[in-house]
Structure 1
Amino acid sequence: MHGPKYIETDQILKWSREQALQIHQKRLNEIKNDANKINCSPGISRKSGSRPQRFLEVERTLDIKKHNQLLLERLVEISSSRKKKEDPMSITQPIKSLNKLNRKKEAEKISNENERIARRLAEQKPRMPSKKKLDEEYNMYKKYKTSISKLHHLQTKKNLNERSIGSLPPIDREKTAKTARETEYDNNEKALRSQTPDFVKKKSHIDQRASSNSPFSKNLSPSYYKRKSDENTASEKSFEENINW
């Protein structure tokens, strides 16, 4: 057998291997001695029986060597793996930086937060309203829209009517009649001043015509005629004074 191609530091393992090797060599020597004792004299019966027995011994020896080699390799692997487990912080192991540790902690923190958020989202019930509720809201908004449209139409129609009327104040019949009388009196006075001295005759004729053609002559009270007569008298006196002067 070939020896190991490395230096073994574990003395116990080294001693056990040496003992196994010695036992193996002793067994091989015994096999060789037993093989030499076999009678190899010529003979039909012995010749026919010795050759198969010899081949079987050789094959068994080869199998034992192969098995021992596999056991030795297995023991070496177990020893090396056990040594690595016993010394995890060896000198050759690189020193970890603080930044790497901080990044690892930060990554774990982010992962925990993501798991918590995902669990909360999975447990939370959906808040999407049902189709029935959406239909009810749609119908309600539609009614509001129709009401607002009608109100806007009525307001627009009202504004148009006010513009067509011109926003005139309500008619005051008494004030209108008074204004018409004052206008008529002013016109008569201007006509008298523009005439010749025989204005009395013409003025009485104008008064009669104005009183007959006036639209308010039928609805005027007696006090109006009295006041009108006083005004005409005062006007005539002032006109005569102006002429005499």
Structure 2
Amino acid sequence: MRYELFYWPDIPGRGEFVRLALEEGGADYVDVGNDPEAGGLPAVEALLGEDGGARPPFAPPVLRAGSQVIAQVAAILQFLGPRLGLVAKNPRDALWTHQLQLTIADLVAEAHDVHHPVGIGAYYEDQKDEALRRAEEFRTQRIPKFLGYFERVLAGNPRGTGHLVGARLSYADLSLFHTVEGLRYAFPRTLDRLAPRLPHVLALAEAVARRPRISAYLASDRRLPLDENGIFRHYPELDP
């Protein structure tokens, strides 16, 4: 099957969590928003409108697999996991993987809200004072709490494999990798300070980056750079 990923062009955003799974799974896919021949941005906008059918998606990322249209990162990865060998067959482990993915989604949402604490439609410069206040809590309380949680999960895995679930890589591992990459970009000083407390989390991120398919993807032009238009944004004043 050829998968179609619909996401805004030129930014990794939440679409990156899906791209990583497709890349690691060796899937045949097209990144529609970044491929003018596949329709580019107009095709993404069309799917969010009348082309969305009777069950239209609210926002990207959206995955089209044949006649199925799936939105929301966690739902997309729950769908792709068994098809790409990125989730355990055991139902309990599969549900645990989904739970971890939803927790990552919570962290990603909080990371976004640091630079847009008042409203998504307003510029960062229009809510900078509020962002400074929000960033302090995020740096000192929320990042340590979230990453500390994943550190405990990794350390507590009875298989002792360096993965979040069981003995093999899952889509949750890939998502945690990208989250760490995003936080390193947006809050490098904070991540440096926390590093001694997160050996398992950082080891997982490094291991994922070394995987052959992921390494090839990271070195390719398909990998979109992080910048100040996406979820993870680096404003030095927010990470003193």
TM-score (norm 2): 0.23
Structure ranking higher on relative contact order (CA contacts 8 Å, 6+ apart): 2
Point out the structure with the larger helix share: 1
Q: Which is higher, the Rg of structure 1 or of structure 2?
A: 1
Point out the structure with the larger strand share: 2
TM-score (norm 1): 0.22
